[in-house]
Amino acid sequence: MKKNTIVAGPVSRRALLHGLVAGAGLCLLPATAFAAASKSTSSAIAFYGNALIVARGSALLYRSGSQNWTALPKVSEGTILTFTTHPERPGRIVGGLDTGGVVLSVDGGKSWDVRGQGLPKAAVTAITTAATNPDTIYAAIRGDGLWQSDDAGQSWVFVMDRPWLANAERDLTALSSVDLATGMGGIWLYAGTDTGVTRVPDCFCRWQDVQPGDAMDALASGKQATPKVPLPEGEPVSALVSAVSRPATLYAGLPSGIWQSQDAGVTWLKRSEVIATALAVHPLRADDLVIVNDDGVLQSPDGGRTWTAIANI
Amino acid sequence: MSAVSPGSMVTGLMAGVGMALLFGVMDASAKLENLTFLEKPLTPEQIALGNDDYVEFCASCHGANLKGQKNWKRRLDTGRMPAPPHDASGHTWRHSDQELFAITKFGVGAVVPGYESDMPAFEDVLSDEEIIAVLGYIKSVWSDEEREFQHNLNLKDGRAR
């Protein structure tokens, strides 16, 4: 079957949409799957194994491997704003709700259990599972801060206030557990905000800018840190993901496009002008990423250079 | 004791760790019984000095009982974070001796460039011996588990450099 492959470079949403229509055989969506979803509606996407689950507004879709997309029942408790999955829990999907709390599914999104005892009743704007511990989940709460659960979302404790950037506290728009050592016996949590990327060690001592190695490296050697190429200053980050199979590889979705880092966020390279409101990376293939935007779901097999529309929304 | 630069401190630590490994005297359980800083055993006199200096210079923010400021995980109106506890409920034991020394002597900005903190640098207030004594006192209140965790961080810090 011919796919709608889009070569890297400026790509308009219209062109993507036309390409998608031309290859309609690829996407056998239920005709009304996302009909109620308007532009600028919230979106979330995650791999679980080779399957994908997508939330667009209150609508949910999943696709197993190369099979057709299937609509899932809506979650009655609220709208899912963010997903997290973990390779060691292949059947489990956790979603964060706009109404507060989280929901957990072990049947591919067909049914959901409500969890979130102890969480404030405010939107869960971003969620991630600890890369090194599949039962530890972190949730970012709008207007509040970062919470941690060590029992797969059942109970929660507050662990860290929101980051202070450009003279204000910032809600987290994205959250990713990055399996790279902090030097403090743990790993990093990277976060997107409306004004860039920041990170915190999982001991939660302090939010801090991304820098090469850790600060003790420069302190011990007396040398200046390697110059870095950051993301464009001040741009909001709508999506941020670390590749499980290659943790130093990060992808970020900004208004200027999709950006990739292969050194844990020290240097960034713009890979595409495609806009993403949600982003996920295949658990085994660090170059295989999927995004959601106003036009649908797109997939790239090559780290964001080329894109194929795989679902119309 | 003369002033210690971070670079020479790390170099000294490397040499110490290397020698210890070479002669097979790095028995972790034995180390835990002896409170150390940068692999050097601390004496009761140092701990007592550290206690005195802690009360004078640190307790007003970190608490006489090392419990930190109230609601220390919630940001102050200034945007800065309150002083954290130094006991098991905090994260001090998640930092190596090198980091703790650098933070205390040079300020948090020494290990997190650009970070703004209410905690001052103590390089003009406390001597290196006093800083080590204060940190030794703090370590003296940790459990064996926390000390072992932090001791492993020290070894990794030494091996990495």
Tens digit of pLDDT for each residue in A231-269? 999 999 999 999 999 999 999 999 999 999 999 999 999
| Residue of B14, B99, B103, B153 to mutate, testing the A interface (most A Cβ within 10 Å of its Cβ) | B99
Size of interface A-B (CB pairs under 8 A): 80
Domain ranges in chain A? 5-31+41-312
**pLDDT confidence tier of residue A130, bands split at 50, 70 and 90:** very high
Determine whether the interchain pair A203/B91 forms a contact, defined as Cβ–Cβ distance below 8 Å: yes
| Residue of B75, B93, B98 to mutate, testing the A interface (most A Cβ within 10 Å of its Cβ) | B75
**Rounded average pLDDT over A283-300:** 95
The residues of B whose Cβ lies within 8 A of any Cβ of A are 6-7, 10, 73-75, 79-81, 84, 91, 94-96, 98-99, 102, 108, 110-115, 149, 152-153, 156-157, 160-161
pLDDT at A215: 58
pTM exceeds cut of 0.90: no
Q: Which residues of A touch B153 (CB under 8 A)?
A: 183-185
Q: Which residues of A touch B110 (CB under 8 A)?
A: 215, 219
Three-class secondary structure of residue B59 per DSSP? helix
Q: Which domains are seen in chain B, by residue range?
A: 6-160 (1.10.760.10)
- Residues facing residue A307 across a β-bridge: A6
**pLDDT confidence tier of residue A223, bands split at 50, 70 and 90:** low
pLDDT at B156 exceeding the cut of 80: no
pLDDT at A14 exceeding the cut of 80: no
Give the DSSP per-residue string, B93-136.
Answer: GGS-HHHHHHHHHH-GGGTSTT---SPPP-TTTS-HHHHHHHHH
**pLDDT confidence tier of residue B21, bands split at 50, 70 and 90:** very low
How far, in Å, CA of A141 to CA of A130, rounded?
17
Place of tokens 């974070």: B81
Q: Which fold has domain A5-31+41-312?
A: Methylamine Dehydrogenase; Chain H (2.130.10)
How far, in Å, CA of A159 to CA of A128, rounded?
14
**Rounded average pLDDT over A132-144:** 98
What percent of chain A clears pLDDT 90, i.e. is strictly above it?
Answer: 75
CA nearest to A56, candidates A80, A90, A83: A80
Tell me the average pLDDT of chain A. 86
Tens digit of pLDDT for each residue in B58-113? 999 999 999 999 999 999 999 999 999 999 999 999 999 999 999 999 999 888 88
The CA dihedral of B80, B83, B86, B91, to the nearest 10 degrees, is -10
**Which of A158, A215, A220 is facing B112, going by the closest CB pair?**
A215
Q: Which residues of A touch B71 (CB under 8 A)?
A: none
Tens digit of pLDDT for each residue in A143-196? 999 999 999 999 999 999 999 999 999 999 999 999 999 888 899 999 999 999
Place of tokens 């007003």: B60
For the record, the structure tokens of A92 come out as 């489990």
pLDDT at B26: 38
